Amino acid sequence: MLSKEEYNKTVWQLEHISREITGRYRKNFRSTLKRKIHEHDLSSTYPPFEPLPYIPYFVNRTTPEQTLHQLIEAATTTIEFTLDTESVNIYRTANKPVLIQLQILLPHNLSLVNVIEMCHLPPENHIRFKLLKQLFQIVFSEEKQVYIWGSTAELLSFITFKLFSYEQIDGINLINLQDQFKTYWNQQHIHKSNEENDICICESCLGKQPSETWSLQDSVALELHEYLSKVLTNQSFDIGLDPNLHHMSSSEKNHRQRLTTYALHDCLSMHKIIINMKNKNFQFSFEITKKIPYDLMESISSSDDEIMFSQLTPSIERLENDQTLNINEQEQLTSTSTCGNPNWKITSTNDKQLTSQ
Ligand SMILES: [Zn+2]
């Protein structure tokens, strides 16, 4: 939270951006200031996010085989998962994929949340690597349901780690929670005229456009009345979060604990939102995405604060057999340029000016 002085200064800065700052820099500066104010407004309005009971696991080269077997067993017996990823922003290059958070939903609202550290995996020929591959094989199989805040596109840059393939991502039974939440909100909050002095919280009265996607942070604020901090977005999630990875001082441990909590909370807040939606009998629908040629696919930022894949590529959505068909036009994907990694391509304009919040 900002001090009163810092807050006033930020508001003043936003209203008095120098004319010498122009173009992209002006947009970036504006969105940084706006985000700072938004973060402050939420943190001073709502109590911090509180997760339901869960058991966290670090998954990396130090994770015992026995633990991996237990996770595989839990994943086999359950149906539902939430998934999120974190990447590290590297200036003028593709985001570096570094974390996958995989939550295994269990009965009684309990869950196991895995923080899978991609930069600290066991070697490919190791039994632990094979067990981890098996875990993804189970989660991405057709009888499971995976909730993601957005599309599966954010997983594409993780293919290089060889834990799963493009075909497997393509086969995920995806529930795009970001889209589903928007539908849910519109069903729950139909516009009402202000006769009883009630404050209307329909999308339009909240100032959201019909085409605008919801950030996870805004959804947590309005649905759960809690503050989900996004201050640590794009931090160095690749430094090795598990205290077992290497010796750490207590301040290093504290810093890693904060990053870990941040990563866990994305899945845990999705879980709470799902429970709310289920309690109100919301009917979730799966998303079937038309295959997009892999070599045309863009590297997608994982942060829900950044522009979503659906916004980069205009999509045609229509309902058929109660399922949402999300057809991305191939022509929209052609303006790509090769990046250092031969396995995927990126757009040259995926920078901060495109942020949606
Ligand atoms: Zn309204």
pLDDT single digits (tens) 37-65: 999 999 999 999 999 999 999 999 999 99
- More confident call, 59 vs 28: 59
**Please, which residues have CB within 8 angstroms of residue 331's CB and are 6 or more apart in sequence?**
none
**Same domain membership, residue 94 and residue 176:** yes
State the distance from the centre of ligand 1 to the C-alpha of 193, rounded, in angstroms: 7
Q: What percent of the chain has pLDDT over 90?
A: 62
Q: Is residue 115 a contact partner of residue 58, using CB atoms and an 8 Å limit? A: yes
Residue 226 CA, ligand 1 centroid: distance in Å:
22
* 125 and 231 both lie in a single domain: yes
Final residue belonging to a domain, choices 232, 247, 282: 282
Residue 236 lies in a domain: yes
Q: Is the pLDDT of residue 338 over 50?
A: no
Same domain? For 76 and 188 the reply is yes
Distance from the alpha carbon of residue 194 to the mean position of ligand 1, in angstroms: 8
pLDDT tens for 237-274 read: 999 999 999 999 999 999 999 999 999 999 999 999 99
What integer pLDDT is reported at residue 184 of this predicted model?
A: 97
Distance 206 CA to ligand 1 centre (A): 7
- 352 CA from centroid of ligand 1 (Å): 31
Tell me, yes or no, whether 145 and 15 share the same domain.
no
Number of domains in the chain: 2
The reply to whether 25 and 132 lie within a common domain is no
Same domain membership, residue 120 and residue 25: no
User: How many angstroms separate the CA atoms of 10 and 24, rounded?
Assistant: 19
Report, as an integer, the average pLDDT of 282-301.
Answer: 62
Distance from Cα 320 to the centre of ligand 1, integer Å = 29
- 216 and 124 assigned to the same domain: yes
In a domain, 309, yes or no: no
Centre of ligand 1 from the C-alpha of residue 2, in Å: 31
Q: Which of 31, 84, 42, 125 is nearest to 266 (CA)?
A: 84
Same domain, 86 and 210: yes
Question: Rounded to the nearest whole angstrom, what is the distance from the C-alpha of residue 204 to the centroid of ligand 1?
Answer: 6
Domain end marker among 282, 307, 331: 282
Task: Output the CA 324–ligand 1 centroid distance in Å.
Answer: 26
Identify the pLDDT of residue 309: 32
Does residue 2 sit in the same domain as residue 60?
no
Q: For the domain that residue 140 is a member of, what is the CATH number?
A: 3.30.420.10
Residue type, 298: E
- Which residue carries 């504290």 as its tokens? 254
Cα(200) to centroid of ligand 1, in Å? 4
Token reading at 191: 């516009």
Give domain status of residue 331, yes or no.
Answer: no
Residues 310 and 123: their CA atoms lie apart, in Å, by 35
DSSP lists the bridge partners of residue 113 as 56, 103
Asked whether residue 308 is domain-assigned, the answer is no
Per-residue model confidence as pLDDT tens digits over 81-128: 999 999 998 877 778 999 999 999 999 999 999 999 999 999 999 999
Residue 5 lies in a domain: yes
Domain range for 7:
1-45
Distance from the CA of 202 to the center of ligand 1, in angstroms? 4
User: Cα(273) to centroid of ligand 1, in Å?
Assistant: 22
Identify whether residues 39 and 70 lie together within a single domain: no
Classify residue 249: in a domain, yes or no.
Answer: yes
Tell me, yes or no, whether 353 lies in a domain: no
Cβ 83 vs Cβ 101: under 8 Å = yes
Q: How far is the CA of 182 from the centre of ligand 1 (A)?
A: 15
156 and 182 together in one domain: yes
Give, as residue ranges, everything with CB less than 5 Å from ion ligand 1.
191, 200, 202, 205
Beta strands across the sheet bearing 323-328: 54-59, 111-117, 96-105, 80-88, 145-148, 174-176, 287-289, 323-328, 315-320
Q: How many Å lie between the centroid of ligand 1 and the Cα of residue 209?
A: 12
Q: Is the pLDDT of residue 176 over 90?
A: yes
Q: Please give the Cα distance from 290 to 313 (Å, whole number).
A: 13
Contact 317, 308 (CB under 8 A): no
pLDDT mean over 1-20:
83
Does residue 186 fall inside a structural domain?
yes
Is ipTM beyond 0.95? Answer: yes
Q: How far is the CA of 177 from the centre of ligand 1 (A)?
A: 23
Q: Do residues 256 and 248 make contact, with C-beta atoms less than 8 angstroms apart? A: yes
Domain match, 122 and 194 both: yes
How much is the pLDDT for 291?
Answer: 53
**What is the pLDDT at residue 355?**
35
By C-alpha distance, which of 61, 55, 60 is closest to 103?
55
